[in-house]
Amino acid sequence: MDANVKRICLCLDITNKVIEEAAKRKANLIISHHPVIFNPLKRVENDTPVYNLIKNKINAICMHTNADMTKNGVTDIMLELLNFEAD
């Protein structure tokens, strides 16, 4: 919560490859659309995204539902950019 954000990585899903890229670029925050944790964790397993975030001291903010569900939110903007008409 008190981290001083220096560099940000933006992605759809936080995967080990994304974390590796963020660490390589010295990013200490990843902002993703999909949550990295879907269900409560009983333990943190080796070589999982959660483990690698902790290991690399990278924070994560996941903005799934709040970005999708707002009027003129992500979904509406993507549909407009792709020239789709919503029902």
Distance of CA 49 to the CA centre of its chain: 11
Please tell me the predicted confidence (pLDDT) of residue 84. Answer: 81
Please tell me the predicted confidence (pLDDT) of residue 66. Answer: 67
What's the predicted TM-score (pTM) here? 0.74
Please tell me the predicted confidence (pLDDT) of residue 10. Answer: 94
Please tell me the predicted confidence (pLDDT) of residue 76. Answer: 80
Distance CA 28, CA 64 (A): 20
Please tell me the predicted confidence (pLDDT) of residue 68. Answer: 64
Please tell me the predicted confidence (pLDDT) of residue 8. Answer: 96
Distance CA 22, CA 8 (A): 8
pLDDT digits (tens, 9 = 90+) for 23-78: 999 999 999 989 999 899 999 999 999 999 999 999 999 987 666 667 777 778 87
Residues 6+ apart with CB under 8 A from 20: 52
